[in-house]
Amino acid sequence: MTKGLRVVMPQEFTVDFAEYEVPLPGANQVVIATEASGISAGTELAIYTGIHQWLKDPTNLWAKFPFVPGYSAVGRIVAAGADVHMFKVGDRVIWPGRHESHAVVDIGPDADIWPVAEHVPAPEAAMLSLARFPFTALVQSQRILGQAVVILGLGMIGQIATRLFAASGAHPIIGVDAFVQRRRWAEQVYGVRTIDPSSGDGPDQLRALLGRRADVVVDATGVPAALQDALKLVDDGGQVVLVGSPRGIIQNFDSYWDLHGRSVTITGAHGSAIGAQVRPHFPFTRDRALPLLAHFAAAGKLNLTQMITHHVHAENAPEMYEGLRVKRDEFLAVTMHWGNQG
């Protein structure tokens, strides 16, 4: 059997590596040699730093130490079971892969594995499964085409959301972040303008750019208090979409003056809104989202490469997590390659 290598977090603030046996595929399985994987600067850092809400939940078995992180990867199928007909050896695919050199993936009606074009750069392809999460902001938005959209927080989720709204016809788009480098990364998208919230009143700055408030405000900060800022920036009758996972309690929220009296809609956009099957109130599914994201990347409509600040060998994983944690003006999106090239 092949020996594999994976990233493991045995406890908070610790990143190690572990060897494992890569089994042969079952009848309805494929084995994938990982080309590259992308780090989630939200969920993975929350577990790495010990603040993830599920770590202390005894009923949740996923977010527990020792933890094998990662859920976005690109690779090539190197073995396929006898009953696999949708894919073949040599196919290049994306899937919610962990940070490991090889993966065994089930193939079936709910399989979360999709082809990706050969010309899509490995770092960009490695981020596409992660892009599903900010993509929920578009799925949950009432209107997009021609809408004035403000993105609060220009970390990785906010950067991807900015690019997705631009690709889907929103205009104009304004990003808000106190880090000057993050504003510069967002301004790489044609037509995107930015606001520094530390340099003056946010609503006044927005009115200077737009002449009015925004139709849609997307909160990608994950900070509960940011909802108050979002409500100051959205127009009456507009929509606030929460795509960054807010960890904490919202304080000083006036439900009449901030929300009800202005007929503002607040919408959650958790990644679970895009499931494997159509559900009541959730018609958008992964078999729509992931092929569309792969198409956007292949067609050049979604450029994630320009926001990837580090593409390193997986052996540098410990330094990457620390960089994402403490150097927010240098680290944005990080991908790691595994030496398995096409």
Q: How many Å apart are CA 251 and CA 67, to the nearest integer?
A: 32
Nearest by Cα to 153 from 236, 87, 224: 224
Cis peptide leading into 172, omega within 30 of 0?
yes
Dihedral pair phi/psi, residue 211, rounded to 5°:
85, 0
Q: How many Å apart are CA 48 and CA 319, to the nearest integer?
A: 12
Per-residue CA distances from 310 to 10, 37, 103, 317 (Å): 24, 12, 23, 11
Which pairs with CB-CB distance under 8 Å and at least 24 residues apart come from 49-58? Answer: 49/12, 49/13, 49/325, 50/12, 50/13, 51/247, 53/247
**What is the CATH T-level fold of the domain 2-127+304-337, as seen in this structure?**
Quinone Oxidoreductase; Chain A, domain 1 (3.90.180)
Classify residue 24 by its DSSP letter: P
Give the three-state DSSP class for 109: coil
The pair of three-digit structure tokens given for residue 101, joined into one six-digit string: 């050199």
Classify residue 248 by its DSSP letter: S
| Segments making up each domain of the chain, as ranges | 2-127+304-337, 132-273
The pair of three-digit structure tokens given for residue 86, joined into one six-digit string: 């949708």
What global pTM score does this model have?
0.93
Q: How many Å apart are CA 155 and CA 225, to the nearest integer?
A: 17
Per-residue pLDDT of the chain (342 residues; tens, 9 = 90+): 689 999 999 999 999 999 999 999 999 999 999 999 999 988 899 999 998 888 988 898 888 999 999 999 999 999 999 999 999 999 999 999 999 999 999 998 889 999 999 999 999 999 999 999 999 999 999 999 999 999 999 999 999 999 999 999 999 999 999 999 999 999 999 999 999 999 999 999 999 999 999 999 999 998 888 999 999 999 999 999 999 877 777 777 788 888 899 999 999 999 999 999 999 999 999 999 999 999 999 999 999 999 999 999 999 999 999 999 999 889 999 999 998 764
Give the start-end residues of each E strand in the chain.
Answer: 2-8, 16-22, 29-38, 73-80, 92-95, 102-106, 114-115, 149-152, 173-176, 193-195, 214-219, 234-242, 265-268, 308-313, 333-337
Compute the half-sphere exposure of residue 252: CA atoms within 13 Å on the CB side of its CA: 6
Burial 250-282 (b: 16+ CB within 10 A, else e): eeeeeeeebbeeeebebbebebebbeeeeeeee
Write the class of the CATH domain 132-273: alpha beta
